[in-house]
């Protein structure tokens, strides 16, 4: 009896030891962003997609019309994740394009009369996929459109058409000064200028797709995204950021983990601080969501333009910068002499104070840009002998940055002919309850 108990205990201990080893192995693999071997053990974990087996349509070496899964064999519920993994170009209803490099490869190969193929999957606002294949042999373009999965559509079969591409131009049209790109093939016999201004007959153009450019660019074949958010939690090796309400990433999650690469840092980023996050790759759908490859910046967007509007009804304002950024010094930013001041970032225009409060621009970013613009000959810089105060004079406005020996470091944006005296009078007026500056 005693021997049986010992055997049972040994078996139990071996099982516990085995489970412990299995658990440790999987925890270590999850910590290093690797697929688990045994189980996720109840944790929310999004393992990375192994794309080594994906046969991309636009490699330039694929056989025309061939893909990992033929169009006719795709499942009825062809999800966005399936399409991305299958090497398709995926465009959601709000214009975000995934696998965009495949599209660019096809465009380049098409322009150089090299055979290539691509498959574009667009999703309706209800989430239904519409799939279109483009098979180009260097002379003819075969287009196969499958909208049978659109529950609100009428199509019941795949529609096939063939075009002699020697008769067409590849056109990338920006729609009505927006971020939307409309991609068409337009007959060479048609006037491109006329086509840009008014629609042509259906037979004169082939619609390819539409997509939207956000604050992004292409880096080593990957799309670089960015968003502004607030640090809500900070640990030694990561921060958690809450994206601003107007950011696209907010649709994915209200909390996103951003890894910190320099673990041996001797500083803090600071909870409550606005930061600019730039990243490549996808957002992992855990909670909080996760981004693996990202950088953290504190000065907002660097590429912006200040727009001023002169008016008889000028305004003056003062903003305490440490009320916006808890890590700012005790200084103020003044604006005077204009009816309106805006900031243009990309193609979007924001009220200056709104851009400042949201973190899209910062005081330090404003000064860094002024110095950079001076190096490029875009403004005139004057330096006072009071400790190093500076004025940067642009065509329509000027920026004054105080830097006196007694600790004055305020900033003023105003008319081109402003001076330190302008700031002193403005301070006096605001201290006395407002009014126009004399």
Which of 335, 326, 307 is CA-nearest to residue 411? 335
In a 13 Å sphere around the CA of 122, the CA atoms on its Cβ side amount to: 17
Grade residue 58 by pLDDT with cuts at 50, 70 and 90: very low
Residue 198 has pLDDT above 60, yes or no: no
Which of 302, 298, 303, 305 is CA-nearest to residue 359? 298
Phi, psi angles (nearest 5°) of residue 225: -100, 165
Question: In a 10 Å sphere around its CB, with 0-12 CB exposed, 13-18 middle and 19+ buried, how is residue 407 labelled?
Answer: exposed
For 338-356, the pLDDT digits (tens) are 889 999 988 789 999 999 9
Q: Please report, for residues 158, 216, 225, 230, 377, the alpha-carbon distance to residue 348 in angstroms, rounded to integers and kept in the order given.
A: 40, 14, 16, 21, 25
Provide the token pair at 63: 């056989």
Per domain, the residue ranges of the chain are: 1-48, 53-213, 220-297, 311-341+352-431
In a 13 Å sphere around the CA of 429, the CA atoms on its Cβ side amount to: 18
What's residue 329's pLDDT?
Answer: 72
For 14-51, the pLDDT digits (tens) are 788 877 887 777 777 656 556 666 776 665 444 444 43
Q: What is the CA radius of gyration of the chain?
A: 29
Give the residue ranges of DSSP H helices in 42-120: 80-85, 100-111
Report the largest interatomic distance among the alpha carbons of the chain, rounded to a whole angstrom.
104
Q: CA 209: distance to chain centroid?
A: 20
Residue 117 has pLDDT above 80, yes or no: yes
What's residue 172's pLDDT?
Answer: 67
More confident residue, 337 or 171: 337
CATH of region 220-297, choose from 3.30.410.10, 2.40.50.140, 3.30.70.20, 3.30.70.590: 2.40.50.140
What's residue 307's pLDDT?
Answer: 94
Phi, psi angles (nearest 5°) of residue 353: -65, -35
Q: Please report, for residues 109, 149, 212, 412, 427, the alpha-carbon distance to residue 318 in angstroms, rounded to integers and kept in the order given.
A: 55, 57, 37, 9, 9
d(CA 336, CA 313): 11
For 144-177, the pLDDT digits (tens) are 888 888 776 667 788 888 887 777 776 766 655 5
More confident residue, 212 or 255: 255
What's residue 55's pLDDT?
Answer: 37
Give the residue ranges of DSSP H helices in 322-362: 352-358
Provide the token pair at 106: 């096809």
What's residue 214's pLDDT?
Answer: 43
Specify the residue for token string 């975000």: 96
Residue 256 has pLDDT above 70, yes or no: yes
* Among the ranges given (23-37, 254-268, 300-314), the one the predictor scored with the smallest mean pLDDT: 23-37
d(CA 105, CA 134): 13
For 357-412, the pLDDT digits (tens) are 999 999 999 999 999 888 888 999 999 888 789 999 999 999 999 988 888 889 99
Cβ 258 vs Cβ 238: under 8 Å: yes
d(CA 27, CA 22): 9
């Amino acid at each position: 009896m005693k021997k049986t108990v010992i055997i049972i205990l040994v078996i139990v201990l071996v099982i516990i030891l085995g489970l412990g080893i299995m658990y440790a192995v999987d925890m270590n693999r999850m910590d290093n962003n690797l697929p688990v071997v045994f189980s996720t053990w109840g944790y929310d974990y999004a393992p990375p997609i192994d794309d080594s087996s994906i046969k991309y349509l636009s490699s330039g070496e694929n056989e025309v019309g061939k893909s990992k899964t033929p169009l006719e064999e795709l499942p009825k519920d062809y999800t966005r994740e399936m399409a991305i993994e299958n090497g398709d170009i995926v465009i959601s209803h709000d214009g975000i394009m995934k696998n965009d490099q495949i599209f660019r490869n096809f465009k380049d190969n098409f322009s150089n009369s090299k055979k290539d193929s691509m498959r574009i999957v667009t999703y309706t606002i209800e989430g239904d996929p519409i799939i279109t294949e483009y098979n180009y042999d260097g002379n003819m373009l075969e287009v196969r459109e499958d909208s049978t999965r659109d529950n609100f559509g009428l199509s019941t079969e795949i529609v096939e058409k063939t075009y002699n591409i020697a008769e067409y131009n590849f056109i990338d049209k920006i729609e009505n000064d927006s971020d939307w790109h409309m991609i068409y093939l337009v007959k060479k016999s048609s006037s491109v200028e006329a086509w840009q201004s008014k629609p042509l007959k259906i037979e004169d153009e082939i619609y390819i797709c539409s997509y939207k450019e956000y604050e992004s660019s292409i880096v080593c074949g990957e799309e670089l995204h960015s968003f502004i958010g607030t640090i809500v939690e900070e640990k030694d090796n990561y921060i958690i950021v809450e994206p601003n309400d107007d950011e696209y990433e907010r649709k994915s999650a209200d909390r996103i983990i951003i890894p910190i690469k320099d673990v041996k840092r001797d500083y803090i980023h600071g909870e409550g601080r606005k930061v600019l996050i730039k990243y490549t790759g996808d957002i992992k759908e855990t909670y909080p969501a996760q981004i693996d490859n990202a950088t953290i910046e504190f000065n907002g967007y660097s590429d912006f333009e200040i727009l001023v509007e002169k008016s008889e009804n000028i305004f003056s304002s003062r903003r305490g910068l440490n009320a916006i950024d808890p890590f700012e010094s005790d200084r103020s930013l003044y604006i005077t002499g204009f009816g309106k001041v805006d900031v243009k970032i990309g193609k979007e225009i924001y009220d200056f104070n709104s851009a400042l409060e949201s973190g899209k621009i910062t005081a330090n970013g404003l000064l860094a840009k002024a110095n950079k613009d001076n190096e490029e000959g875009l403004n005139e810089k004057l330096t006072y002998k009071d400790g190093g105060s500076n004025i940067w004079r642009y065509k329509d406005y000027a920026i004054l940055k105080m830097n006196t020996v007694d600790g004055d470091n305020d900033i003023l944006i105003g008319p081109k002919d402003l001076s330190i005296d302008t700031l002193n009078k403005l301070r006096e007026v605001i201290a006395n309850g407002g009014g126009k500056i004399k």
